[in-house]
Structure 1
Amino acid sequence: MKKTFRDNWRVVVEIMPRAREIRASQLGFTGLDYDLNGRLTGEAFEMTFVPRDLGDIGSGFFVSGHRHGRDVDAAYRARCEEMLAEFRRCDHVLSGRVECDEEHRCSHCDLVWEVLTADEAADGSTNQDAHSVEGEPVCCEAAINEFRTERSIPLLATAGGAA
């Protein structure tokens, strides 16, 4: 049915500058400590941190990310969670979260995964047949029939099901 792909893992933290001695270099802004007089103040802001590639073993050496286990997403999530835990130890970090880009595709036709909404299912003009329901995929016959088989809904007429 639906395949999920995750990419661009990152950690987003909300930082509250305090009217105290925080050097800009501590936040990753190198070369600004002198100009900022060692103090950062103002409104909270977000910073995004991207973890190094799983295959990056340092000193310019890379190995396949799959050597770190079968579940690459879990490995990236764990790395980001470790980074987030470290960021949260700093008193100027207000909050944080782990994010990634997700894309859902059909396992049959590889098109972007889309399903009928409740409004579309109620509108006969957007249905495949009288048995179309909310949540039914719209990309291909194979996905629709797989969905219907799992829910004991008659298959599409073109696949030998009742219309």
Structure 2
Amino acid sequence: MKNTTRNNWRVVIEINPQYTHVSVSALGFPGLDTDLNGSLAGKPFELTVVPRPLGDLGYVSMGDRLVSDDIEGDYRRRCEEMLAAFLRESHVRSGRVEVDEEHRCSHCDLLWEELTAEEAADDSTNQDTHSVEGEPVCCFEAIAEFRIERGIPALAEGGAA
């Protein structure tokens, strides 16, 4: 049915510069520390931090699958640990863990799409009179599986009834 993959894990933190006691070089401006008088001023800004790959052990690098049986869980834990460490700093106002999700059909590998309530009420977008909100629209195999799980009558041969 629907397969979900998650990648591009990251931690996004909001920094309040009025209370930032981080060196300017740590913000990507090396050599300016001697001109800074202890704090940065300005509006809060967001900083995105991407974790190192699971397979990057410092002295050697390998694919994530070689070092983890739970890649998604390990990235989630790594990001949550990073976020917790950032939130202990006084100049960090808030933060969150973000990840890109992609949903694909397990039958046809197309991007997963479902009928909306409006589409389900519109006969021109339905496969037949039994089409309902949440029904996949990518392929007949996904529709058949969806309907079997919910006890909805199967599509007629050829896709229309």
Global fold match (TM > 0.5): yes
**Rounded Cα–Cα distance in structure 1 between residues aligned with 2:84 and 2:42:** 24
Shift of 1:28: 4.8
Q: How does 1:20-31 map to 2 (within 5 A)?
A: 21-31=21-31
1:57 match: 57
**Rounded Cα–Cα distance in structure 1 between residues aligned with 2:50 and 2:40:** 23
Q: Which amino acid aligns with 2:58?
A: G
Q: Return structure 1 stretches of 4+ with deviation > 6 angstroms.
A: none
Q: Is the partner of 2:90 in helix, strand or coil?
A: coil
Unmatched 5+ stretches in structure 1: none
Q: Is the partner of 2:115 in helix, strand or coil?
A: coil
> Kindly tell me: are residues 58 and 130 of structure 1, through their superposed partners in 2, closer, same or farther at Cα, counting changes over 3 Å?
same
The structure carrying a bigger strand percent of its residues is 1
The answer on whether the counterparts of 1:154 and 1:162 sit within 8 Å (CA) in structure 2 is no
1:68 match: 67
**Rounded Cα–Cα distance in structure 1 between residues aligned with 2:72 and 2:85:** 20
Aligned length: 161
For the pair 1:142 / 2:141, whether they are aligned, the reply is yes
Q: How does 1:1-163 map to 2 (within 5 A)?
A: 1-18=1-18, 21-59=21-59, 61-158=60-157, 163=161
**Rounded Cα–Cα distance in structure 2 between residues aligned with 1:7 and 1:125:** 36
**Rounded Cα–Cα distance in structure 1 between residues aligned with 2:3 and 2:19:** 48
**Rounded Cα–Cα distance in structure 2 between residues aligned with 1:21 and 1:31:** 16
Shift of 1:146: 0.2
**Rounded Cα–Cα distance in structure 2 between residues aligned with 1:94 and 1:45:** 10
Q: Is the partner of 1:158 in helix, strand or coil?
A: coil
Q: Is the partner of 2:48 in helix, strand or coil?
A: strand
Q: Which amino acid aligns with 1:150?
A: E
- Name the Cα RMSD after superposition: 1.9
Shift of 1:42: 1.1
> Kindly tell me: are residues 21 and 149 of structure 1, through their superposed partners in 2, closer, same or farther at Cα, counting changes over 3 Å?
closer
Q: Deviations over 1:5-39 (max 9, x none)?
A: 11111000000012575421344543332344442
Q: TM-score of the superposition, structure 2-length normalised? A: 0.92
The answer on whether the counterparts of 1:88 and 1:96 sit within 8 Å (CA) in structure 2 is yes
Q: Deviations over 1:82-118 (max 9, x none)?
A: 1111101100000000001111000000000000000
- For structure 1, which segment, 107-116 or 12-21, has the greater mean C-alpha deviation from structure 2 after superposition? 12-21
**Rounded Cα–Cα distance in structure 2 between residues aligned with 1:130 and 1:122:** 10
% same residue: 64
**Rounded Cα–Cα distance in structure 2 between residues aligned with 1:21 and 1:112:** 45
Q: TM-score of the superposition, structure 1-length normalised? A: 0.91
Shift of 1:158: 1.7
